[in-house]
Amino acid sequence: MTTIYSARKIITMCASQPTASHVAVRDGRILGVGPLDSLTGWGDYTLDERFADKVLMPGLIEGHAHTMEGTLWKYAYCGYFDRTDPVGRDWEGIKTLDGVLNRLKEADALIADPDAPLPGWQFDPIYMDNRRMTRHDLDKVSTTRPIGVLHASGHIMNVNSKALELGGMLRTGINHPGVPLGEDGLPTGELKGPDVMTPIGVHVGFDRSMLDCDDDGLRNFGRLCVRAGVTTTTDLAARLEDDTVDMMLKVTGEADYPARVVALRYFMGMTPRELVDRVIALRARSTDRLRLGRIKVVTDGSIQGFSARLRWPGYFNGAPNGLWYVSPQQLREVMDLALAEDVQIHTHTNGDEATDLVLDTMEAALRGQPSPDHRFTIQHCQLADSAQFHRMGKLGMCVNLFANHHFYWGDEHYRLTVGPERAERMNACATALARGVPMAIHSDAPITPLGPLFTAWCAVNRITASGRTQGEAEKIGVAEALYAITMGAAYTLKLDGEIGSIEVGKKADFAVLEDDPTEIGGGNLKDVRVWGTVQGGRVFAAADQT
Amino acid sequence: MTAPLPLTILGGFLGAGKTTLVNHLLRHAEGRRLAVLVNEFGELPIDEDLIEAEGDDLISISGGCVCCSYGSDLTAALMDLARMEPRPDHVLLESSGVAIPGAIAATVGLLQGYRLDGIVVLADAETLRATAADRYMGDTVTRQLEDADLVVLNKCDLVTGAELSALRGWLQDRHAGLRQVEARQAAVDPAVVLGGFDGAPVSARTPENPVQSRHLRLDGPVDDPAALAGALAQDRLGLIRAKGFVTDRAGARFLIQVVGRRAACTPAPGPVSAPDGIVCLGAGGRADWPAVLALGARTSEEA
């Protein structure tokens, strides 16, 4: 059974035939690409012209996201920016604190049980003159139910008095840098850092396993993928317990599940040996739509949280250097074993000192255990300089830069965290490419919204939320950005032989677009309208994702 | 209301001997039910001969002790532990090698039901100076030492006398007043880490590690129990630990507990039969006993 789709234009991302008019699909794979008369020789076919006025691209690939975004949409959206939920409702961004409280009041009215928790997410007071929300503000929404509002960074939460009371923290005498106190000596309700969020979080509806999504959340994430033109996504830091793996196999195996999920096992709770053995065992359970067998190692914290490890001269505001989340010995051990067993590692590495540690450790590990094609990938890598990108290239490593960060927090980095010069060269896409490092760019959803075309716009324009262009010299071209969200990301996952371009033999994965991203102009990339996707030859319209 | 659970944070860099110390303490628990919280069940943290049963998140150890892993969620593990029946007598929290113990202490301080009994940081006598000079880990190790109420300088048998002497000087230069206990194979007297030294002189138990104890007699009430606790924690006295009861002039009884530089003075829990007086521990001949005992004498004179 062969279907040949016609399209206004097919952008293949394949150098030998950059554009085409038709693509033939058989058994979920691409049988051929070209003019119609070059495809008819394969035998009987059905000509499907539903995309005749659309533009097809390779299905977009999100190289760094977390499927828990699908679960977060169960909670009240309190973000500053407009965002579309999995079923297609557009939530208007809220620009004021009162607006956030009104949104929570609306959500409050929908919950019958007056004691049931009310969680909200994606609040960001940075855009509201940094006026802090207090428990007294949230008490105006409810004094009977616990309320917790998670910040966009994921590192801070605001709660009401009831939530503090349930967590045993509505008392004086608390002495913790993450718990600011009011003039009355009681906590203001702002909780900074996971250590202080957890004891209250369980009472406001954010339970302990936030890194893992549930089955409805995973289905919701699939819907978000269709809306964003994504056919393959990562789930970059999962615990992948047996029951979670069973659930993910079940959900991704459903006939209408629209995405391929590449889930990485987080290095935690196991020795390097156990971890590598576990991941090899998981790899054997992989299916087409759930790819297992990769490791995620977190080396440091975040730049806006001042917990990333920076080289001299450190943080612009004088904050002390950040935290290590792995010791050099453990990193070395897990790299040695993973290289020996051909298991891929992606490292969360924000600060440039952490990047140095990963490069030094990788170089030493490779001397002992050479590997012809490991493609270990440095994720985020926001402060790397030219010399570091050079080393990455020499060591055969890949990079996945956080282009969206530049838009959402670029102004903060300029003003507060790293200062003008380093802010200008953060997420240095142009330098990475010039140094020959295979590169992807990412959203880190739910930290920022899933949407590779928006991510490409960020890398092409480097505009911050306040509208400044930050880092003119690190802008990349539209073609390079489109490559990064297709072939670039596929390469970092070692899937570039299967996906990432439209050419014979690959998966029939397409992003179906209303506009041509190569014609619309780099400044408008984020406005390219997505009709939906084709994934493994199955057609998914965004409009049907309800 | 039950008394809060005492909790000791065991910090220190990878390889400093934290796991060895945990096993040593379990072997010398002497009837106390210890709960050990480890960052993760990596290399099995408990010697096999001590294990009675193993579960996913819990290892049962002979003598009613347990070992739990906390992974990425320390707070949740502590909350679970506080509800455990039967209740542990003392919690040992073994932090990861790159953790900053002061940050963990702040977190413990948020939880009702716990009392921080001190931060004990292990250091490897053989490698400490090299680690402190490491470009990646130097500041982490320095922060760990800064946060320590007590430092156990371990593996002292692997360095020469001259090296050890130089190391002591280096430590005092960088961390003036630091309270340290020297050990080999992490064999320190359990009282150093766990307190609870009401019985026989502890020095006899681990002869290679000379810990001395003195009894600070108090013949009458004191003006300010909290000030006395603070005085016992002064750097110049060099005490490892101190614990005992005092009575103020209004007749209220207080429990004084000192771990290195950390002093606590709290109302005595319930009726206490023990007489007033404070047991003090010093190590390695570094305690200034005349000055310690003078605190008692002055109190007595004032009384």
Q: Nearest to residue B41, comparing CAs of A269, A330, A268, A333?
A: A269
Percent of chain A with pLDDT over 90: 90
**Distance separating alpha carbons of residues A91 and A113, to the nearest angstrom:** 25
pLDDT tier at B42, thresholds 50, 70, 90: low
Alpha-carbon gap, residue A13 to B81, rounded angstroms: 55
**pLDDT in the model for residue B203:** 47
Q: Which of B14, B39, B44, B75 to mutate to test the interface with A (most CBs of A within 10 A)?
A: B75
Domain that holds residue A276: 215-535
Q: How open is the CA angle A14-A16-A17, to the nearest 5 degrees?
A: 70
Min Cα–Cα distance to chain A from B185, Å: 21
Total domain count, chain A? 2
Q: Tokens for A487, please give them.
A: 């072939």
- pLDDT band with cut points at 50, 70 and 90 for residue B208: low
Residues B173, B253 within the same domain: no
- Token representation of residue A516: 């041509």
Q: How far apart are CA B207 and CA B185, in angstroms?
A: 14
Residue B209 has pLDDT above 80, yes or no: no
Cross-strand partners of A530: A513
Quote the CA–CA distance of B197 and B209 in Å, as a whole number: 16
- Angle at the Cα of B249 from the Cα atoms of B243 and B255, rounded to 5 degrees: 20
A101: amino acid identity, one letter: L
Q: Is the pLDDT of residue B196 over 80?
A: no
The confidence band for A258, taking pLDDT boundaries of 50, 70 and 90, is very high
Give dist(CA A236, CA A444) in Å, integer: 9
pLDDT of A210 strictly over 70:
no
β-pairing verdict for B180-182 and A147-151 = unpaired
Residue that terminates a domain, selected from A204, A235, A258: A204
User: Are residue A147 and residue A232 in the same domain, yes or no?
Assistant: no
Statement to judge: residues B84 and B159 lie in one domain: yes
> Is the residue at B201 inside a domain?
no
Question: Which span out of B94-108, B122-136, B200-214 was modeled with the highest average pLDDT?
Answer: B122-136
Domain end position, chosen among B194, B225, B247: B194
Greatest CA separation found in chain B? 58
A140 and A220 together in one domain: no
Q: B183 and B99, same structural domain?
A: yes
Residues B64 and B170 in one domain: yes
- DSSP state, A68? T
Does residue B257 fall inside a structural domain? yes
Q: Which residues of B56-81 are buried (b: 16+ CB within 10 A; e: fewer)?
A: eebbbbeebbbbbbbbbbbbbbbbeb
Mean pLDDT of A521-538: 98
The pTM assigned to this predicted structure is 0.92
- Tokens 């138990």, residue located: B205
Domain boundary among B194, B227, B247: B194
- Interface contact B130, partner A, CB < 8 A: no
User: Do B96 and B29 belong together in one domain?
Assistant: yes
| Res A211 pLDDT > 70 | no
CA distance A512 to A229: 7
pLDDT at B198 over 70: no
A287 within some domain: yes
**Could you read off the pLDDT of B151-193 as tens digits, one per residue?**
999 999 999 999 999 999 999 999 998 999 999 999 998 888 9
Q: What is the CATH number of the domain that holds B59?
A: 3.40.50.300
- For residue A161, give the H/E element and its range: helix A161-166
pLDDT given at position B296: 80
Pick A175's closest partner by Cβ from B109, B136, B139.
B109
Give the domain-ending residue among A204, A231, A251: A204
Q: Would you place residue A135 in the very low, low, confident or very high pLDDT band (cuts 50, 70, 90)?
A: very high
- Domain end, chosen from A176, A204, A232, is at A204
Encode A217-284 in three state secondary structure: HHHHHHHHHHHHCEEEEEEEEECCCHHHHHHHHHHHCCCCCCCEEEEEEECCCCCHHHHHHHHHHHHC
List strand residue ranges (DSSP E) for A402-469, in order: 439-441
Domain tally, chain B: 2
Q: Which among A168, A208, A327 has the least Cβ separation from residue B73?
A: A208
Closest residue in A to B104 (Cα–Cα) = A195
| Nearest beta carbon to residue A271 from set B42, B74, B136 | B42
Among A58-67, A125-134, A188-197, B277-286, top mean pLDDT goes to A58-67
Higher-pLDDT residue of B301, B69 = B69
- Which residues make Cβ contacts (< 8 Å) with residue B51, sequence separation at least 6? B59, B60, B61, B62
Instruction: Give the pLDDT mean for B251-280.
Output: 89
Q: Which of A323, A349, A356 to mutate to test the interface with B (most CBs of B within 10 A)?
A: A323
Work out the pLDDT band at B298, boundaries 50, 70, 90: low
Residue B201 has pLDDT above 70, yes or no: no
Range of the structural domain that residue B31 is part of: 5-194
Whether B140 and B262 map to the same domain: the answer is: no
Please check whether residue B76 touches A, CB under 8 A: yes
pLDDT at B303 over 70: no
- Rounded to 5 degrees, what angle do the CA atoms A274, A331, A371 make? 85
Q: How far is CA A142 from CA A125, A135, A285, in A?
A: 21, 10, 47
Q: Parallel, antiparallel, or unpaired for β A147-151 and A118-123?
A: parallel
Q: Same domain for A364 and A468?
A: yes
Phi-psi region of A484 (alpha: psi -120 to 50; beta: other; left: phi over 0): alpha
Q: Please tell me which residue of chain B has the smallest CA distance to A356.
A: B136
Q: Are residues B182 and B225 in the same domain?
A: no
| pLDDT at B205 > cutoff 70 | no
The reply to whether B47 and B156 lie within a common domain is: yes
Q: Out of A258-272, A513-527, B247-261, B288-302, pick the least confident.
A: B288-302
pLDDT at B301: 43
- Helix (H) / strand (E) element for A204: namely helix A194-204
Kindly give the pairing relationship between strand A118-123 and strand B51-54.
unpaired
- The 10s digit of each residue's pLDDT in A315-331 is 999 999 999 999 999 99
Is B206's pLDDT higher than 60? no
Residues A177 and A319 in one domain: no
Same domain? For B69 and B181 the reply is yes
Could you tell me if residue A29 is inside a domain?
A: no
B296 part of a folded domain: yes
Residues A408-461 have pLDDT tens digits of: 999 999 999 999 999 999 999 999 999 999 999 999 999 999 999 999 999 999
- Concatenate the DSSP letters of all residues of A273-314 into one string: HHHHHHHHHHHTT--SSEEEEEEEEE-B--TTTT-S---TT-
Kindly state the average pLDDT of the residues A359-364. Answer: 98
Together in a domain, A117 and A169: yes
pLDDT tens-place string over residues A143-158? 999 999 999 888 889 9
Residue A16 in domain = no
Q: Mean of the pLDDT values across residues A393-422?
A: 96
Q: What is the mean pLDDT of residues A13-31?
A: 97
- Are B157 and B264 in the same domain? no
> pLDDT digit string (tens) for A104-129?
999 999 999 999 999 999 998 888 87
- For the sheet with B180-182, list strands across it: B51-54, B58-61, B65-69, B34-38, B90-94, B5-12, B114-124, B150-154, B180-182
Residues B112, B32 share a domain = yes
Q: Are residues B131 and B268 in the same domain?
A: no
Q: Do A174 and B136 touch (CB under 8 A)?
A: no
Query: Which tens digit of pLDDT belongs to each residue from A72-92?
Result: 999 999 999 999 999 999 999
Same domain, A251 and A388: yes
Mean of the pLDDT values across residues A226-243? 94
Query: A439-441 and A398-401 as β-strands: parallel, antiparallel, unpaired?
Result: parallel
